[in-house]
Structure 1
C-alpha cells in the first residue's frame, strides 16, 4: 500500500487486491450482473459522459467498524449513481441475510432504487435485512478493509481519498 498525493489536498490511499465472491448470485442474477459489468467496464458511458464503470470512483463514506459506501459513478459524493439497466432497477429479493462482516449489498434510497452504489459491511448488519439486496462477500483482501477503516471517521468522511484504481473479473 502506498500513499501518494492526489489531485486534491488529501493524499490518496492505494491498495492492492480485494476479491469478491458473488456466491449469492444464483439468487440475485440481475444485481450481480450489474456489479460484474461495472467492474469489467464494458457497458458504455454514463449521462455525465464518464465511462459506466467503477474504475476511478471513490469510497465516499467510510465508517470504521461499520460500513463503507462506494460506487457513485455520477457525482462521486453519494448523491448519484447509474446502473447498466438505466437510472435504477428493482430489488430482486431479500433472501440473503446480513449474517456478518464483509458482505456486499446494494445501497438504495428506498424500495426498487438500486443503481451503481454499494456497501461493504465490517460488522453484522441484520437491521438491514429486508431493505438492501445482498449479492456478494469479500473472500480475500481483509488487509485492505483494515487499511480503509483507518482513514474513515464516525461521520463517514475520509482523511484520505480511497479510489478504485482498477477492477475487473478473474477468469
Structure 2
C-alpha cells in the first residue's frame, strides 16, 4: 500500500472515530447547574427563518450559516445549546489540519455531551468541503449530542463516500480564523493520527442571529 493510500485509510479511520455522546432517556428535569438534560429540546426555531452563529474564539471570530430548512432538528439543538451558553469556554479538543477541527465537548475528552442524543438528518442535499459543519457521533445511528466538527481541508472530501454525519451549516465568514485554529500544533493522543492540541483553543461565546 503506497503512502497516499495509507494516509487516506488513516483519515477514514479517524472519521469513523468522530465521537458523540450517550443519553439517559428517563424522565427527569433539566439540571442547569451541570448543563445536562434528559431529552432533546422542543422545537423552537422556524424553518422559514435564516439563522447564523457568530463564534468568538481565542483565535478570533468566524460566522456559520445554519441550515435550518435542511437539518431542522440539528439546528434547533445547536441553537438551544448556544443560547444556554453550553459552548462557552469549551475547547477544540481534536484537530487534524487538512481534515477538520472538532469541539462541543465540555469535558474536553471527546466523550462528553448534554445527556441526550438527537436524530440523524442525513442526505439533506449538502456535501462535505472546507467550511462545512457537521455533527460528530459514534458509529451508532442517532448518537450525536453536542459535539460537531468543521471541515478544514481537501481530505474532508473523503467523507462524501461515507456520509454518516449530519451536515447542518457552513462557515460564511472568518474561514481564515478556522484555518488558524486548524494550524494549532498537535501531538499523539488517543488515536494514531496526531490530533491532540498542545495549545488550548477555546470558544468564548456564540451569538445566534435570525432573520
TM-score by length of 2: 0.63
Paired position in structure 1 for 2:122: 93
Contact 2:73 2:119 in 1 (8 A): no
**Ranges in structure 2 where 5+ consecutive residues have no aligned partner:** 1-56, 187-192
Are 2:180 and 1:147 aligned? Answer: yes
Greater C-alpha radius of gyration: 2
Are 2:145 and 1:115 aligned? Answer: yes
- Take 2:141 and 2:87, find their aligned partners in 1: how far apart are those partners? 23
Are 2:201 and 1:162 aligned? Answer: yes
State which of 45, 59, 71 in structure 2 corresponds to 1:15: 59
Paired position in structure 2 for 1:81: 113
Residues 152 and 33 from structure 1, CA distance in 2 versus in 1: closer, same or farther, beyond 3 angstroms? farther
- Computed over aligned residues only, the root mean square deviation of the Cα atoms, in angstroms, reads 1.8
The more displaced of 119-128 and 157-166 is 119-128
Contact 2:132 2:167 in 1 (8 A): yes
Residues 11-31 of structure 1: per-residue CA shift (max 9 Å, x gap): xx8222110001x22021110
1:97 Cα deviation (Å)?
3.4
- Take 2:97 and 2:150, find their aligned partners in 1: how far apart are those partners? 11
- Take 2:118 and 2:104, find their aligned partners in 1: how far apart are those partners? 15
Greater share of helix residues, 1 or 2? 2
- Take 2:82 and 2:125, find their aligned partners in 1: how far apart are those partners? 22
Contact 1:96 1:134 in 2 (8 A): no
1:166 Cα deviation (Å)?
1.3
Q: Aligned residue pairs: how many?
A: 143
**Ranges in structure 1 where 5+ consecutive residues have no aligned partner:** 1-12, 42-51
- Take 1:152 and 1:108, find their aligned partners in 2: how far apart are those partners? 24
Are 2:83 and 1:40 aligned? Answer: yes
- Take 2:124 and 2:175, find their aligned partners in 1: how far apart are those partners? 25
